[in-house]
Chains A and B, each alone.
Chain A
Amino acid sequence: MKKQEDDKLKGLFNEMSFTEPSKGFENRLMQQINIVAAEKQKKRSLRNAIYNVLAMIGGVLAIIALPVVVFRLSGINLADYNYSIKLPDMQIDPLWILMGFSVLVLLIGDTLMRTRLKKKQH
């Protein structure tokens, strides 16, 4: 009896026809989804940028801190050494340094431009 009663109610539900959303629903929904995806991507890019900056700062700090720690642990005191970092003493032509620096700046600029162009094409 109970089974029959359940089936009757189930039978009623089975008679129900499925309703379709309006024609433009799918397009409207996908537009919203694309907006949400763009926002998500923007947030992800910002988070990545923050991580990159933090990683760079960490790297620079490590470059400074590591020799300091190594020198301290090894008991080396730089003040005990007689050395000079003045260019005339090092016998390096400042022109070479300027040229090297210019090449480095050009390389960095080239890399940045290529990355931007690649992103635009994508």
Chain B
Amino acid sequence: MAELDDIYYINLIRGGDTNAFVYLVRRYQRMIFTIVAKIVNNTNDAEDITQEIFIKVFQSLDKFRGDAGFSTWLYRIAYNTAISEIRKNKSIHTSFEDHLSAVGEEVLSDAIDDISTEERLRYLDEVLNMLPPEDALLISLFYLNDHSVQDISVITGLGVSNVKVKLHRIRKFMNFEINKLISE
């Protein structure tokens, strides 16, 4: 139903009704802004990046052919724009891969249930910030936005098996780091 609504507004915009774009903005801005804000940790920067994403979506709307769902197509633009914008401002985590190889298979400790929600979310924010932007976006799309591995494969341009491997490694790293924060 949401996809049908999206197509209706896309047709209006293509017909010259620019103001119809506001409906697409209202539907997706919360999710995009939340994911971007988690990674850049600065509201102004997150708003600038979200704005850039929507402008790119508007400019590319003529190229949307409907092969994939509109939301997948929109998140693909969001992913690519966010990565390039974040890379401009954030140093690239070169040591992450080395660090990851040193992390063994780890399960999130049961002690996580004993700490407050506020504390848990602070740990999650901290660990998300340790990840390279691509990986932070990947895991956020998977968990926060409930995208399937296939959808993430289309959004990121990575193969399905590659996405699975990446998600496994990111989860392993996050579990390890969160456990470390809990034990500290």
In the complex, what's the smallest C-beta–C-beta distance from B152 to chain A, in angstroms? 14
What residues of B have a CB within 8 angstroms of the CB of A9 in the complex? 108, 143, 171, 174-175
Interface size for B (C-beta < 8 A) is 36
Assess the B121–A30 pair: CB atoms within 8 A. Answer: no
Could you give, for residues 152-184 of chain B, a 1 whenever the CB lies within 8 Å of some chain A CB and a 0 otherwise?
Answer: 000000000000000000010011001000000
CA distance A15 to B120 in the complex (A): 9
Assess the A16–B124 pair: CB atoms within 8 A. Answer: yes
Listed in ascending order, the chain B residues whose CB lies under 8 Å from chain A are 18-19, 21-22, 25-26, 29-31, 33-34, 37-38, 43, 46-47, 50-51, 54-55, 58-59, 107-108, 112, 117, 120-121, 124, 140, 143-144, 171, 174-175, 178
Excluding A22-B43, A30-B25, 16 further A-B contacts by CB distance (< 8 Å) are A4-B107, A5-B108, A5-B171, A12-B178, A16-B38, A16-B124, A16-B144, A18-B30, A19-B46, A26-B22, A26-B25, A26-B26, A29-B55, A30-B21, A33-B18, A36-B59
